[in-house]
Amino acid sequence: MTENEKQLHDAAYQAVVKEGARAEADPYRQVYHRMPPVGLLNDPNGWIQWKGTYHLFFQWNPFAPDHTHKFWGHWTSEDLVNWNEEPIALAPSEWFEKNGCYSGSAMELDGKLALLYTGNVKDEAGNREAYQCLALSEDGKTFEKKGPLVDSQPQGYTAHFRDPKVWEENGFYYFVIGAQTEAEEGQVLLYRSADFQKWDYVGPFAGSRLNGLDAFGYMWECPDLFRLDGEDVLIVSPQGLEQQGNRFENVYQAGYFTGKANLETPTFAHGDFHELDEGFEFYAPQTTLDEKGRRLLFGWMGVPDSDEEHQPTTEAGWIHCMTVPRVLRVENGAVVQEPAEELEALRAGDPLEMKVRLDQGAEAAVTPASEIVLETNEASSFSITIREGLTVTYENGTLSMSRPRFKDGKTETRSTDIASIDELRLFLDSSSAEVFVDGGRTVMTARFFPEPEANIVRISGEGSLIWRSWELA
Ligand code: FRU
């Protein structure tokens, strides 16, 4: 470890010692979602099961609940439910990453755990440089930096060139990476290497004005390309899309295209862009293939530039968390996301079960961390108010989520059209809700900040439903 690196690690650990108890005392700390000990968390990074153990890294500013510094924090798990905090994986100590160890991915390389990430560099005038850098670990705990493998973007692109997602296929290594053309349009570029040292630019793979797509945002972040159930899936987080009805309601989107990729030409014949999550907070997700053959996704339960400073946890010195791990599959060209079955281990005690006549309504006391499964095929409309802080409504074929806006308390809503709903599965935590509709065909995610003592879920509507709920601990 260089002296500078050691100093940064020490400063981060000191921030945890100094501020950790204040964050820990916050009633909005989550029970089972992954959060930073202090400071800000954003993208999931380096998500991998390596030698049997799950490793999840995260963009982390240990010093403040804002985006001014970026380290890689690190957790491990054997079962996706119990997690260990590991030593800091990467701190922005070297010239090629001095303004942040930005997002990237992991793979096994010659028995070692390899991280490929973006070194972000800015000068006083705000000019950017982006380096794609390698770090290696033998023990999965301490990482040795090997420096940049790719030291600039290709011609015709700006330095908004980041977030490599790496994989191995047919005797080559590949990565896709987020990019911006000089005309300020978002694309994903493809790179290839025979030895992981020398990387060749294959060409633009997908994005604005490629594969029949029109201009589609000014930047594409955090691409992820994989094959699932016979389809090639490109997940990406585009910035700069205009809202169209109840599509693209957030400041930035995270979604996917399915189709057929050709890594030689390179081209990607794909269908429409679909959002992965129809709620308020979801961005920059990353997937990995685990040893059970599952494609597992974590998303950041946040969106950049979305009034983050108004979230109340900033007063306790921390902000943001991950989603629950979600298992993906493709059905009729659509990506479906189900909570990993391991989460059932969180259920404590027997479920509360009841049949609810919606015209009479019902209410139940819940613990802040709970799972509620509603069989709704006999309900023509319903409205669920969770702890007086978030309302989920289904009416006239539209599912919506409403909450008071962080900035000024005015009600804000996100909606999506669904012809009929048979089942709603809600994962509630102290300050979040993830709603899985019909086995994950639609998902809506939100942070919300009810009075900490509020514990009632109220439900009303037309028809009837069956309620089952568990405390999660
Ligand atoms: C996405 C993102 C990435 C970048 C990282 C920096 O949220 O902007 O493009 O690598 O965050 O923290």
Q: How far is CA 421 from CA 64, 178, 185, 336, 380, in A?
A: 42, 36, 37, 15, 9
DSSP class per residue in 197-249: SS-EEEEEEEETTSTT-----SEEEEEEEEEETTEEEEEEEEE-PPPBTTBS-
Q: Please confirm, yes or no, whether 43 is among the known catalytic residues.
A: yes
Query: pLDDT grade, residue 244 (50/70/90)?
Result: very high
What single-letter amino acid sits at 67? Answer: H
Confidence at residue 314, expressed as pLDDT on a 0 to 100 scale = 98
Of 368, 363, 405, 407, which is closest to residue 385 (Cα–Cα)?
363
The one catalytic residue in 26, 43, 163, 224 is: 43
Atom of ligand 1 nearest to the CA of 104: 10
Is the pLDDT confidence value at 196 over 90? yes
Q: What is the pLDDT of residue 397?
A: 97
pLDDT at position 126 is 86
| Predicted pLDDT at 113 | 98
Residue 391 Cα to ligand 1 middle (Å): 30
> Residues for the chain: how many in total?
473
How many beta carbons lie within 10 A of that of residue 396, not counting itself? 7
- What is the helix, strand, coil percentage profile of the chain, to 5? 10, 55, 40
Short-list 441, 434, 360, CA closest to 401: 434
pLDDT tens, position by position, 415-440? 999 999 999 999 999 999 999 999 99
Convert the pLDDT of each residue in 249-293 to its tens digit.
999 999 999 999 999 999 999 999 999 999 999 999 999 999 999
Contact in structure between 140 and 93 (CB atoms under 8 Å): no
Report whether pLDDT(451) > 90.
Answer: yes
Chain-centre distance for alpha carbon 222: 10
Q: Which residue out of 40, 41, 57, 59 has the highest number of ligand 1 atoms within 8 Å of its CB and is therefore the one to mutate? A: 59
Per residue in 339-390, pLDDT (tens digit) is 999 999 999 999 999 999 999 999 999 999 999 999 999 999 999 999 999 9
Is residue 115 a contact partner of residue 134, using CB atoms and an 8 Å limit?
yes
pLDDT, tens digit, for every residue of 315-345?
A: 999 999 999 999 999 999 999 999 999 999 9
Average pLDDT over residues 168-179: 98
Nearest CA to ligand 1 atom 9: 221
Q: 116, 120, 221, 319: which to mutate for ligand 1, most atoms within 8 A of CB? A: 221
The identity of residue 235, as a single letter, is: I
What's the whole-model pTM score? Answer: 0.98
Residue with tokens 């009034």: 307
